[in-house]
Amino acid sequence: MVSFEHLTRELERTGHRRLVVLTGDEQWTLSQAAGLRDALPGDWLWLEENPSKAVSGLLGREYLHAVFDARVGFDVSAFAALSGTLRAGSLLVLLVPPLADWADKPDGDSVRWSDSAEPIATPRFVHHFCRTLAADADAIVWQQHRPLSLPAAPDSPAWQPASGEPQREQAEILDALLTMPAGVAAVTAPRGRGKSALAGMLLNSIQGSAVVTAPAKGATDVIASFAGERFHFMAPDALLASTTEADWLIVDEAAAIPGPLLDKLVSRFPRVLLTTTVQGYEGTGRGFLLKFCARFSGLRRYTLTTPIRWAAGCPLERIVANTLLFDDALIDRKPEGDVRIRLLEPRMWESDPARVASVYELLCAAHYRTSPLDLRRMMDAPGQHFAVAHAGADMAGALWLVEEGGLPPELSRAVWAGFRRPRGNLVAQSLAAHGGSPLAATLKGRRISRIAVHPHRQREGIGQRLIRSVSGEDYLSVSFGYTDELWRFWRQCGFVLVRMGSHREASSGCYTAMALLPHSEAGHRLCAQEHQRLCRDMRVLSAWNGEKIPVTDAWEATLNSDDWLELAGFAFAHRAFSTSVAALTRLVLATDMPLPALRGKIEGKTEEMGRKALLAKLRSETAQALESLDYSRCQQLKADILQWQFFQ
């Protein structure tokens, strides 16, 4: 029998890495993993609790051998990230529950992506992973109570590790970058292809000055090792806040930096090199080029394909890519022929996995924030629905919907008042928490989580056809980072704007907008009510945000019954100031009381007190003003709203 010692020697010779799955009870799996660690020299990283946090400090470095404990929960992003840190000759040992029990066992990682309060079983992902293992002859599955047989390493040629000198692909790109006039260049590649090394070589070769930035300094160790004394790092936010100038800006793992921040950084420097991982676990992919980089008309694109940390055809890289569907080749092939719309349900992961996988692959290509968390959500989270547009056998478009709403009236009122924030229900909760109706979250809708049309089939109305093919019980909803272009699309699809957020999102630099497409009579009433509220408040909200809201200005200076309810919610519960600011503006117009904190806040003056103390003062002054206007009405509203906090 082939021993692990012999296997690792062969892996070192051929430049490959292998996955070893240990499956059995806790004591047995831990014992076997410890035995391997003791028998084989190496770093033996061991990830179990909070693996995402642990692995973030490892990126950009190289290790020999690792153990990933997935028995309680399987964080697949961290698993993939760990695999990317292992050098040639490594084993990645994965601990999982007994295979017979695994599909029915709650996965502790699921609370991050399922919107469930408790861990849920993830049978579709487990079956998918097991199918992937079974189809790969190089995967080693070591089961308790079963004999182990290690596959012999194939008769591959000996691998020549990189010498530190530029490889052919690196040298060609390096020559192009060194002669590049002012502009932006992007180098993309799967992990382990030498992007960071290339950036370090560039630093070491240029005549002028340069600064390096990245999501985390620890991930730039490889750049630093090639750059030597020319390495100068600044964190993205610190760099933006500084007056630093340089001939070159080098951004490592650029897609992991918020787009608005990256945009501002790029505009500051005459020459910029962006490097980022594609087919990766960071939620990047081809979408980075399609979305962010499309704004640079003279962008120079380069790709590295040849692995450097390990040999081509590495078994570990292959099985991670197959498990997490990193294949993005479908974006290069134009779907030909007439388009047909079809509904898919999550159960098709079992009956037609290739078809559903292509949905995920298209979404990855179109949205560079799509990540393996989304894959897990698509497979096993409750309330997921899909519509697809087929052109022959190819995927031309995809729509992903999530069930929302249907909360009990008592819970919806508690959400409105700010007493409760249950998991999930993004738009449904927002309609209650930021809208005018305490019962808004009782209605049932479906939120459009993602929509994508193949780049070669856009502007044919496929997106609109997908939306027309689906419905929610009461409404369809969408939440998006507001731009004129995006809103034009949603408006053409029949959506009505009902909310604009009060602050810019860090990831997009845009205000969050929410829109509804009503279907039922109750959905139409809610949509009309919330849109009217937005129109009535638009003047104040636009001034507060510094951004025009694209609705009709229907400002009213007098208080109505909706305002009274809103103001009571602010005074006696936990409604947010930003939600109530229009009603509060009308309140100060309706009373002669001094209300110094309230008037000062509305006028944008800063108070010399802490945030909590100021909010308490604002709520107190609002209560006083309401009492002065109509004491009995105020007390009745107060009594009603305070009852809403006792929902269990």
Instruction: Report the relative pairing of strands 66-69 and 91-96 from DSSP bridges.
Output: parallel
What amino acid occupies position 528?
A: A
Q: What angle (nearest 5°) sits at the alpha carbon of residue 603, between those of residues 602 and 607?
A: 80
Helix (H) or strand (E) holding 542: helix 521-545
Residue 481 CA to its chain's centroid (Å):
13
DSSP string, 77-132: HHHHHHHTTBPTT-EEEEEE--HHHHTTSEEGGGGGTS--SS-EE-HHHHHHHHHH
Residues ≥6 apart with Cβ < 8 Å to 339:
389, 390, 391, 396, 397, 457, 460, 462, 465
3-class secondary-structure state, position 308: coil
Question: Is 120 annotated as ligand-binding?
Answer: no
Q: Which residues pair with 403 in a beta bridge?
A: 446
3-class secondary-structure state, position 40: coil
Question: Is 556 annotated as ligand-binding?
Answer: no
The DSSP letter of residue 63 is: B
198 touches 236 (CB < 8 A)? no
Q: What angle (nearest 5°) sits at the alpha carbon of residue 480, between those of residues 476 and 485?
A: 105
Instruction: Report the relative pairing of strands 45-47 and 444-453 from DSSP bridges.
Output: unpaired
Q: Which two three-digit tokens encode residue 608?
A: 């010399």
Sheet holding 271-277, edge to edge: 210-213, 248-251, 271-277, 183-189, 300-303
Question: Helices in 218-326 by DSSP H: which ranges?
Answer: 221-227, 236-241, 259-268, 287-291, 315-323
Helix (H) or strand (E) holding 376: helix 372-380
Using only C-alpha atoms, the chain has a radius of gyration, in whole angstroms, of 28
**Three-state SS string across 197-256, please?**
HHHHHHHHHCCCCEEEECCCHHHHHHHHHHHHHHCCECCHHHHHHCCCCCCEEEECCHHH
Question: Is 453 annotated as ligand-binding?
Answer: yes
Nearest to 408 by CA among 445, 384, 444: 444
Instruction: Report the relative pairing of strands 140-143 and 120-121 from DSSP bridges.
Output: unpaired
3-class secondary-structure state, position 514: strand
Q: How many residues are listed for the chain in this entry?
A: 648
In the block, residue with structure tokens 């997009």: 508
Report the distance separating Cα 414 and Cα 416, nearest Å.
5
Nearest to 64 by CA among 89, 93, 82: 89
Question: Is 170 annotated as ligand-binding?
Answer: yes
Question: Is 398 annotated as ligand-binding?
Answer: no
Nearest to 441 by CA among 451, 427, 454: 427
- Point out the annotated binding site for ATP: 170, 309
- Point out the annotated binding site: 170, 309, 451-453, 485
- Point out the annotated binding site for acetyl-CoA: 451-453, 485
